[in-house]
């Protein structure tokens, strides 16, 4: 069923949160409900998700969906639009950790190669945000002012190497790169959509409990820091392309590395794109 674009929009703003039934996603959702927002939470934990949504009545929706499954995820965006007729923010927060030891010696298969490794962490932690961005842009453009706020959960592992979790590190670095690339292009073409990411340290969540219970409390980042970083991105439309590293109660805005020389700046800061345009060369 096609979503309706003619429905009168809800008076209160609307946010979609993936991984919203626990941890940081739930904390942000609860804060938004306190501020009068409507919130759709998306999670694979159906029991918790339904209980949370029921507790917030007409201002909440819950959908069970795998963020790495485009059809499942796109359906939740369409149903959110059908319910409220607007979309103001998307928090691409769902995530998992590495499912394998990448360094462990593996047995040979019949042809002498090792078994295929699990790349679920790439699917959830990077493909999920890509789908959130793609869908978010589509529905933001249906708003009368075509505006929206897209916020991802990356990680400190998106800034620093995580030697024991290399695939998670790769995915979270990808989220930071995605954030910066999307924000730069949208800014250049004048679309009123901001794109930012949050890079937390250790927060007490289901994902990190294997680490956090062994970590001194002074090295844990409280969820209140995550909420503060999130709301700064919501409230300030001048912030875009930023990676907010949340370390304890501190928030550090990590800028991209400086251009190494004029050649690097030409390639990455619009020079190549302008040259291609002048010669009518198109990528797609």
Residues 6+ apart with CB under 8 A from 153: 19, 24, 25, 91, 92, 93, 95, 175, 197, 198, 200
What are the backbone dihedrals phi and psi of residue 16, each rounded to the nearest 5 degrees, phi first? -105, 130
Report pLDDT for 282.
84
Q: What is the pLDDT of residue 4?
A: 55
Given a cut of 90, is residue 206 above it in pLDDT? no
pLDDT class of 6 with cuts at 50, 70, 90: low
- On the question of pLDDT at 139 being above 80, the answer is yes
State how far Cα 265 lies from the chain centre.
27
With a cut of 70, say whether residue 163 has pLDDT above it.
yes
pLDDT score recorded for residue 3: 52
- What is the rounded average pLDDT of the residues 203-207? 75
Helices (H), the chain: 23-34, 46-55, 70-84, 120-122, 128-140, 166-189, 209-212, 223-235, 262-268, 271-278
DSSP string for 164-208: T-HHHHHHHHHHHHHHHHHHHHHHHHT-SEEEEEEEE---SSTTT
> Which pLDDT does position 54 carry in this prediction?
98
- Write down the pLDDT at residue 1: 46
Q: How confident is the model at residue 210 (pLDDT cuts 50, 70, 90)?
A: low
**So what's the pLDDT on residue 213?**
66
Q: Which residue numbers are catalytic?
A: 168, 172
Q: pTM for the whole thing? A: 0.94
Does the pLDDT of residue 186 top 90, yes or no?
A: yes
Averaged confidence pLDDT in the chain? 94
Could you give the domains of the chain? 14-278 (3.40.50.720)
């Amino acid at each position: 069923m096609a979503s309706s674009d003619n429905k009168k929009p809800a008076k209160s703003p609307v946010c979609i949160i993936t991984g919203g039934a626990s941890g940081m996603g739930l904390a942000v959702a609860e804060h938004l409900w306190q501020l009068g927002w409507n919130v759709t939470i998306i999670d694979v934990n159906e029991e918790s998700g339904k209980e949370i949504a029921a507790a917030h009545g007409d201002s909440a929706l819950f959908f069970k969906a795998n963020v790495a499954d485009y059809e499942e995820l796109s359906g939740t965006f369409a149903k959110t639009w059908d319910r409220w007729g607007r979309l103001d923010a998307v928090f691409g927060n769902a995530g998992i950790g590495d499912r394998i030891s990448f360094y462990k010696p593996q047995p040979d298969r019949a042809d002498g190669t090792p078994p295929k490794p699990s790349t679920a962490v790439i699917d959830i932690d990077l493909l999920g945000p890509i789908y959130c961005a793609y869908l978010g842009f589509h529905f933001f453009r249906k708003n009368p002012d075509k505006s929206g706020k897209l916020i991802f959960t990356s990680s400190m592992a998106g800034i620093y190497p995580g030697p024991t979790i290399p695939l998670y590190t790769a995915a979270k670095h990808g989220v930071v790169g995605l954030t910066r690339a999307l924000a730069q292009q949208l800014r250049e073409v004048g679309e009123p959509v901001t794109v930012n990411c949050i890079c937390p340290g250790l927060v007490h969540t289901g994902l990190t409990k294997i680490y956090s219970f062994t970590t001194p409390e002074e090295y844990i980042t409280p969820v209140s820091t995550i909420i503060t970083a999130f709301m700064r991105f919501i409230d300030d439309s001048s912030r875009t392309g930023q990676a907010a590293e949340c370390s304890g109660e501190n928030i550090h805005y990590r800028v991209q590395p400086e251009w190494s020389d004029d050649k690097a700046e030409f390639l990455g800061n619009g020079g190549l794109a302008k040259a291609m345009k002048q010669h009518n060369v198109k990528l797609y």
